[in-house]
Amino acid sequence: MQEKRDRLVALLREFGSVAVGYSGGVDSVFLARVAVDVLGAEKVLAVTGTSDSLPVWMEATAGEVAERFGIPWLEVETAELNDPRYAANPSNRCYFCKSELWSRVREVADARGLAVVVDGGNADDVGDHRPGAVAGGEAGVRSPLLEAGLTKAEIRAWSRELGLPTWDQPAAPCLASRIPYGTAVTRERLQQIERAELALRALGLRDFRVRHHGDVARLEVHPSELPSVREQRAAIAEGVRAAGYREVVIDLQGYRRGALNEGLSPAALLQLGGAA
């Protein structure tokens, strides 16, 4: 792992100055923190794209960590919801969102004289269905964690050494990922999903998704948290219904990454790269 750490430090030095796409998640927080260590705060800017698709608790985490660790931080509003190609929610939706994000981050970087835009992509992301990465590549975004070969587990371990509170934070993609492909992404739906997820977080759950199926909320909860679901069944159902769902069900297979890709044909998934 030392070789990978050395490689990351060398890459950042080579870049000289960076604008970090900073969501408040494990990878981008870690990258911003290391970048400040290596380059100094004056050569780093963490940029968070804000819209209704970013969970409010992620935005709060981004701000709190930036303040605590001396990471220069800027929020920019993104307008992916105004793009009908994004709002239609095709399987390559992330491509349009990331295209918007990186264009905004690039504007900021250019205005401030920061040489390279970087993201928190890591070695475990290779091979996944990630149209957003295509947009990053087109925008010239570099992924130093991936280029250094760092895996998610290694990033978590190093984050813990650095005292980052995000070291054990569950993965937290944007709220639009809870809406099945082909169902339009709207502000109202995103806000409804967020209300439901905040209700579950308030009950102590951490690793879960509220999947939106019209007036049905399908909860995917990590198996380790199912005993908590059993103990708080009524409160969970009440909280989710209060968010505006008529019916609350829990998936028997629990939370798994990419569940909404299940049942999509390989051709539909391949559309990502092709459309991008």
Partner 1 sequence: MSADDRVAAARGLLLARGFVGATVRAAGTDSEIAVLGVAEGDWERMLLGDDHDLARALKALGFRYVSLDMEPLPPG
Closest to partner 1 by CB, 67 vs 247, is 247
Closest C-alpha to 28, from 138, 161, 171, 182: 171
**CB-based burial of residue 18 (10 Å sphere; 0-12 exposed, 13-18 middle, 19+ buried)?**
buried
Work out whether 233 is an interface residue with partner 1 (CB under 8 A): yes
Instruction: Please identify, among the stretches 42-50, 69-77, 167-175, 259-267, the one whose residues bind partner 1 according to the rule CB under 8 A.
Output: 259-267
Work out whether 11 is an interface residue with partner 1 (CB under 8 A): no
Work out whether 193 is an interface residue with partner 1 (CB under 8 A): no
d(CA 10, CA 33): 15
Which residues, other chains included, contact 68 with Cβ-Cβ below 8 Å and sequence gap of 6+?
none
Closest to partner 1 by CB, 173 vs 180, is 180
Work out whether 179 is an interface residue with partner 1 (CB under 8 A): no
Closest C-alpha to 40, from 80, 13, 64: 13
Instruction: Please identify, among the stretches 23-31, 44-52, 168-176, 209-217, the one whose residues bind partner 1 according to the rule CB under 8 A.
Output: 209-217
Shortest distance in whole angstroms from residue 2 CB to partner 1: 40
**CB-based burial of residue 38 (10 Å sphere; 0-12 exposed, 13-18 middle, 19+ buried)?**
middle
Task: Please identify which residue in 1, 153, 171, 216 interacts with partner 1, judged by CB under 8 A.
Answer: 216
Q: Which two tokens stand for residue 111?
A: 């205005």
Task: Please identify which residue in 65, 193, 229, 243 interacts with partner 1, judged by CB under 8 A.
Answer: 229
d(CA 29, CA 25): 6
Applying CB under 8 A, what is the total number of residues that bind partner 1?
25
Closest to partner 1 by CB, 149 vs 244, is 244
d(CA 126, CA 117): 19
Contact 48, 76 (CB under 8 A): yes
Work out whether 113 is an interface residue with partner 1 (CB under 8 A): no
Closest to partner 1 by CB, 38 vs 198, is 198
Task: Please identify which residue in 127, 161, 252, 266 interacts with partner 1, judged by CB under 8 A.
Answer: 252
Query: What is the contact surface with partner 1 in residues (CB under 8 A)?
Result: 180, 183, 211, 213-214, 216, 218-219, 226-227, 229-230, 233, 236-237, 247-253, 259, 262-263
